[in-house]
Chains A and B, each alone.
Chain A
C-alpha cells in the first residue's frame, strides 16, 4: 500500500468493449504493472466526479492491463459509460481478499452467476482454466435477463464451451430472437448432481436476489454453509475497513471480503438487501 492509501494511481482507459445494452468492459492501464488476486476489487476514480468499487474481470496473470466490466447502474457508472478511449482515471487497491483458489484444488468448482456478476467470475474462470488440471471439474451456470444481456458473448458461447473439464450451461429470464436454450432464472438450471457435492465448492456472484435463491438451492442440494463462497456487493468506499459503509455485522466487506463463505455471514441481518 502506498504511503497515502487515498491516493489513486494514474491510469488510462485504452479500450472500451460494448458487452450488452447496459454493460461495457473498460481496458485500463496503470502506470506500471498492477497486481491483484482474482476476486479482489479496485476503486476506480473518474477524476473530479467520484469513485466506485469494481472487481476486475481479467486474469490476474495479466499485470500489464486490467479489464473492468461495468454496468450503468448509478451516477459514477453512468458517467463512465459516456467516457471514451484515452480517458484518464485513477485506481486504488487492490482491496480485500480474493477467492481462496488453493482451497479449491482437487475439487469440483461449481460457479453460479447472474448478470454483471459474471465479471468477477470471468476473472476467476480465467484463473482456474489456466491450471484446469488442478481441479476435478469447472462447472458454470450463468443466467442473464435476455440473450442480449449476456456479457463476453463471443467466448461464452464459443471458446469457453470447448475447454476440457469445463461444463457451461446458460439460461435467460426472457427468450427472444433465435434463443434455443433454457428459459428461467438461474436456479432452474442448477441440478443436484451437477457436481459431487461431497468434494465441491460453490461460488456465487450476481444480483442480491439471485445470490439469495442460488444459495438456498445449494443448501437444499446438501452444500454445507462453508462450501458456499459469496461475492458480496455492498457500498465499499475507503477499501480498508475504516469508513464503515460496507459493514455486514462485524465484517467490513472491503477488507474481510468481498468473498465470504455463507457460514461467515449468515447470522447477520439483511445480507441480501
Chain B
C-alpha cells in the first residue's frame, strides 16, 4: 500500500477536522479516551501507544438511540461525516464483527449503516501493549494492515502515513502539501518496531500458547465447574460487556412522549440476571455461572460457528474494566488445562 510521511500530526488532523468532526485520543488517568478535536483550542495531540479505553462501537451504535417514532414515522436523523484517530488493529477487527452483525444480506440496521458509511478511520500502530492485551492469542497483531482509511506509524522524526482506501487516497492527494516522501529506512524502522511489539506481546502472553484452536477450549467446557467458580468473584457490574468492542446486545423499550410514542434501543448485557427471562418466569440463565458461560461460548464458539470469525479480539478491555476478579485469560487457561487433563486421561485409558 502507498505510504507518505509527515513530521507533524497537527496539519494532518487540522485538515481532517476541516472536513469533518474528528475525535482524538486523550490520556485520562491510566487510559486513553476519545475527545472531540478543536484545532483552535491548542489541544495537545497525543499519540496513543495502546488502544483507547472507549470501544469503537460507541461511535456506531450509541449507548441509547431512538429506533422508531409512531404513529407518524420520524425523518431519520442526519449523520455527518466524522473521523476517529488512534484506532488499533483490535478495534478494526471488532468493527469486522459489528459489520457482520448489523450489515447482513437480508438485514441492514439503518442507524448503524449510516454512521458506518460516514466514518473515516485513522488507525495507528501499538507501541506499548497494556498488560491486559492478548490480541496475539486471538490471531491479532499490534498494527493494522487493512480496514482503515489511513494508518499512522510513529518513527524517528515523524510519522509514516499509509493509505488504506480510496477515501484515504483522496484525502492524501487533496492535501499533498502536508506530506513528504518517506525518509530512507523509515519502513525498516517501522518493521523493527512492529516486530518488537509483537515479541513483547508473545512474551507477556507466553502462558497462553495453546496447541488447539481457542474454540476447542470452550466448546469442550460444557460441564466445567470453572464458570461457577469464577462467578464467585464476579460482582455483576456488567462492565465486561459494556466496554467490550464486540458485544452488541441491545434492549428495546417503549416510551410515551407528549404527542407521539417512541421505541428506544439501548445497550444491554447478557450478564444481567433477567436478560433471557420470559414473561411466564422461565429463565435459562438464572445462575451467574451460566451467564458467564453463555457470554464466553457466544464469544468463542457460537459467533464463530455463525459468522466464521472470532467474537473476541483480545483487546483486554474487559480485564481492565472488571470490578470483580473475573479474568477472561485466566478462564481460558483453566479450561485449557482441564482439556489437557481430560485428553491425557483418555490417552491413559486407551493405552
Tell me the A residues contacting B by CB distance below 8 Å: 1, 3-8, 10, 45-52, 71, 73-77, 88, 90, 207-208, 233-235, 237-238, 240-247, 249-250, 269-271, 273
Contact = CB atoms under 8 A, between A and B. Distances in A.
Contacts of A73: 279-280
Contacts of B276: 234-235, 245-247
A250 B256 contact: no
Given A7-B73, A8-B68, A50 B110 contact: no
Given A8-B70, A273-B283, 14 more contacts: A4-B73, A5-B107, A7-B68, A8-B263, A48-B255, A207-B280, A235-B276, A235-B278, A238-B250, A244-B248, A244-B270, A245-B268, A247-B294, A250-B303
- The B interface is mostly helix, strand or loop, or mixed, namely mixed
A19 B19 CA distance: 63
Interface string B56-75: 00000000000110110100
Contact of B102 (A74, A76, A233, A242): A242
B284 interface: yes
Interface string B277-301: 1111011111000100110011001
A128 to B, nearest CB: 27
Contacts of A233: 278, 280, 282
B302 A250 contact: yes
Interface of B: 67-68, 70-71, 73, 76, 101-102, 106-107, 109-110, 222, 248-256, 261, 263, 265, 268, 270, 275-280, 282-286, 290, 293-294, 297-298, 301-303, 305-306
Contacts of A75: 279
A157 B258 CA distance: 48
Given A234-B278, A235-B277, A242-B109, A270 B68 contact: no
7 contacts: A5-B107, A6-B265, A8-B263, A233-B280, A242-B107, A244-B298, A245-B275
A237 B252 CA distance: 7
Given A73-B279, A90-B70, A45 B254 contact: yes
B57 to A, nearest CB: 13
Contacts of A207: 280
CB-CB nearest 6 A-B residue pairs: A74-B279, A48-B256, A6-B67, A244-B249, A250-B302, A270-B284
B268 A244 contact: yes
Contacts of A47: 70-71, 254, 256, 261
Contacts of B251: 237, 243
Contacts, number: 120
A242 B263 contact: no
B235 to A, nearest CB: 22
Nearest to A116: B280
A198 to B, nearest CB: 33
B109 A5 contact: yes
Nearest to A256: B306
Contacts of B268: 243-245
B277 A6 contact: no
Contacts of A250: 301-303, 305-306
Given A47-B254, A235-B277, A238-B252, A273 B302 contact: no
A73 B280 CA distance: 5
A77 B279 contact: yes
B107 A7 contact: no
Contacts of B263: 6-8, 45, 51
A272 to B, nearest CB: 8
B302 A249 contact: yes
Contact of A242 (B68, B248, B283, B284): B248
A165 B277 CA distance: 39
B258 to A, nearest CB: 11
Nearest to A246: B276
A247 B284 CA distance: 10
Nearest to B252: A237
A6 B275 CA distance: 20
Given A6-B265, A47-B256, A52 B109 contact: no
B164 to A, nearest CB: 28
Nearest to A236: B278
B89 to A, nearest CB: 25
Contact of A240 (B68, B107, B253, B283): B107
A22 to B, nearest CB: 11
A207 B282 CA distance: 10
A8 B251 CA distance: 16
Contacts of A74: 278-280
Contact of A245 (B67, B249, B280): B249
A227 B71 CA distance: 43
Contacts of B301: 250
Contacts of A242: 101-102, 107, 109, 248, 250
B300 to A, nearest CB: 12
A8 B279 CA distance: 21
